[in-house]
Structure 1
Amino acid sequence: MQLDRRSTLALALGGLAMPALARAQRGSGWRPTRPIRLIVAAAPGGSNDILARIIAEPAGQVLGQPVVIENRAGAGSVIGSEAAARAPADGYTVLMNSSLATIPAVVANVPYDTLGDFDGVAVAGFSPHLLVIHPAVPARTAQEFLALLRASPGRLNYSSAGPGSGPHIGGLLLMARMNVQAETVHYRGGGPSVAALVSGEAQFGTPTMASAIGQVRGGNLRALAVLAEQRSPALPDVPSAPQAGMPGVIHEEFFPIVAPKRTPPAALEALGDAFRQAIQQTAARVNEMTGVAARTGFETSAQVMALVREGIEANTRLLRAAGVQPE
């Protein structure tokens, strides 16, 4: 059969288009037909809430349906996580909870199985915690503040975002490693715990950089240290934990996004693709606003859950070494 020039060109162009079409078809195995519910297991205003609201809109644009934030705070994030674990595994519910890998280390009877009841979707980023104080506290450095705590054991209030939260573990770590005592006050999430610090209801805390950076920059809180090995570009004038004389107080939080176990693989893939695109698109703005940094290497559900598993193991070792047992 003789092919004219037009037919030959059409076939050639069609051949070039086939791989792209095949990729598009593979990627369109599941498309939501109604809004996606993103449960944030914390109150509005905390680091989880801030990050979720930044990435929700671009993720929804990729999916073609809105991603709607639902704040379910309480019990150090256990209430929201349990709600997500019990939700239908149909692709329409996901959870963001930076305490997912800390709760099993500090809570004795967790009403869900962290590793058995969830599938990984993505990791929104990583954030170091800060040691911050209310400006009325008479200390300009971490060492001055530690001396103050040692001089008056248990007199100052420590602001926690709830039992098992990252700020709670940060405080336990600080007190155990630095041999100081304070009264722990639990609040319903990162936002309320930072608000308590700003009002002076609590005198110090170890919030994530994401939830406290605005208050630090505005002068409402004084940051004495970034609880990381190195200074953060987001707060370049604040010393790292080793520079502040606290080399053993290193505490970083990550923000996993997960779905109920047995979510269909096609839905899990579509959700993962959408959230990873949203995280990449907003990475520079998120880092500038919150100090949260995106990282590669979490492109599959298994990689996300491996990070959660490693976090549980690391937090458990850290707290047991510090003499902290589940309650």
Structure 2
Amino acid sequence: MPSRRQLLATGLALLPVPALAQAWRPTRPIRLIVPFAPGGSNDIVGRIVGEAAGQILGQPVVIENRAGAGSVIGAEAAARAAPDGQTLLINSSLPTVPAIVARVPYNTLEDFTGIAVAGFSPYVLVVNPQVPARTAQELVALMRASPQNYHIAATGNGSGVHVAAELFRSIARVQSDVVHYRGGGPSVAALVSGEVKVGLPTMASSIGQVRGGALRALAVLADARTPVLPDVPTTAEAGLSGVVLEEYFPIVAPAQTPAPVVAALGEAFRTAVQQTASRLAELAGVTPRAGYDTPAQVMALVRASITQQTAILRAAGVQPE
């Protein structure tokens, strides 16, 4: 006669995947590493989605900001964490780092497994309001005439904002230097103060300043206008065809995390994204997108983006360092 343990194992094996996912629940707060300083897009999106996911999972999701090296420090900490579902990473720079960093201390595609994608958002070409440019073409003319007066703010070597800056420099044919800050929050603060005049920040980290008039948006790096900033033209409309780049927010776990744990986390975070869709759009200019329901789909997106980001940087003449 089968033992109670055997019967239980058989019963679990017959459960559908969603029910099996419910078999795991965290026993303590979940650490969600944000590899940038507070106030940037990953921090904002992580806090919005993490709060809702924590309510679903029955344990709070605690944000841990570990900035440095263009997200490498925080990402490495996540890759080396115990694969028990208690440590996750949200990092929009996950696909850009392999394109710009010569010796990455982890393997992006082998050391992580996908949990969810928290949404997509275009980058934005902005200037400090003191800049006498009302259009992207006027800005390009100023930067070509005086590149030393119009440095571009970025958020670390290998970050998505860095890729956006290099794409803009390449297509606009401007020679202005890129100045790196420790995250989206500090870079936007530098733009607002006038320490730097030009930036291509994420929408999440800059939308409040744009709406409040502290920054002037000249274009969104997208094929279509965003309903979040409907009066701002696309880069094609602004005369910068080809300057198109979108940020997205992959949430990943260490690679050896057990499948039932990954399934439970994925279900919780995907539900949290749907529940917070209106807040994400309003506060961060981020919208969810279907098609990323499995770990393989999430990591396939990252893989394709590595190829895209590498091509952009090489075309701009940027080599790994």
TM-score by length of structure 2 reads 0.93
Partner of 2:183: 189
Instruction: Report the 3-state secondary structure (helix = DSSP H, G, I; strand = E; otherwise coil) of the residue aligned with 2:178.
Output: strand
Give 1:26 deviation, angstroms. 2.2
Equivalent residues in 2 for 1:33-182, closer than 5 Å: 33-182=27-176
Contact 2:47 2:63 in 1 (8 A): yes
Give 1:324 deviation, angstroms. 1.7
Equivalent residues in 2 for 1:273-312, closer than 5 Å: 273-312=267-306
- C-alpha distance after superposition, 1:129-181 (max 9, x if no partner): 00000001111110000000010123322111111111111111111111101
Contact 1:211 1:290 in 2 (8 A): yes
* Segments ≥4 residues shifted beyond 3 Å: 21-25
Structure 1 distance, partners of 2:56, 2:70, is 31
The 1:144–1:40 alpha-carbon spacing in structure 2 relative to 1, beyond 3 Å, is same
Q: 2:256 aligns with which of 256, 262, 274?
A: 262
Give 1:22 deviation, angstroms. 5.3
Partner of 1:15: none
Structure 1 distance, partners of 2:222, 2:19, is 44
Partner of 1:9: none
Contact 1:155 1:183 in 2 (8 A): no
- C-alpha distance after superposition, 1:39-83 (max 9, x if no partner): 011110000000011111110111111111000111111110011
- C-alpha distance after superposition, 1:193-241 (max 9, x if no partner): 1111011111111001111000000000000000111111100111100
Q: Is 1:27 aligned to 2:21, yes or no?
A: yes
Contact 2:163 2:312 in 1 (8 A): no
Give the letter aligned to residue 117 of structure 1. Answer: D
Q: Is 1:224 aligned to 2:218, yes or no?
A: yes
Instruction: Report the 3-state secondary structure (helix = DSSP H, G, I; strand = E; otherwise coil) of the residue aligned with 1:225.
Output: strand
Structure 1 distance, partners of 2:140, 2:315, is 21
Structure 2 distance, partners of 1:326, 1:262, is 28
Instruction: Report the 3-state secondary structure (helix = DSSP H, G, I; strand = E; otherwise coil) of the residue aligned with 2:288.
Output: coil
Q: 1:247 aligns with which of 223, 238, 241?
A: 241
Instruction: Report the 3-state secondary structure (helix = DSSP H, G, I; strand = E; otherwise coil) of the residue aligned with 1:234.
Output: coil
TM-score by length of structure 1 reads 0.92
Taking only aligned residues, the RMSD between alpha carbons, in angstroms, comes to: 1.4
Contact 1:215 1:221 in 2 (8 A): yes
Gaps spanning 5+ residues in structure 2: where?
1-13
Give the letter aligned to residue 141 of structure 2. Answer: A
Gaps spanning 5+ residues in structure 1: where?
1-20
Give 1:322 deviation, angstroms. 2.3
Q: 1:314 aligns with which of 305, 308, 311?
A: 308
Give the letter aligned to residue 308 of structure 2. Answer: A
Q: Which has the larger radius of gyration?
A: 1
Structure 1 distance, partners of 2:75, 2:301, is 17
Structure 2 distance, partners of 1:220, 1:308, is 33
State the number of aligned residues.
308
Q: Is 1:233 aligned to 2:204, yes or no?
A: no
- C-alpha distance after superposition, 1:270-289 (max 9, x if no partner): 11011001000001221122
Give the letter aligned to residue 212 of structure 1. Answer: S
Percent identity over paired residues: 65
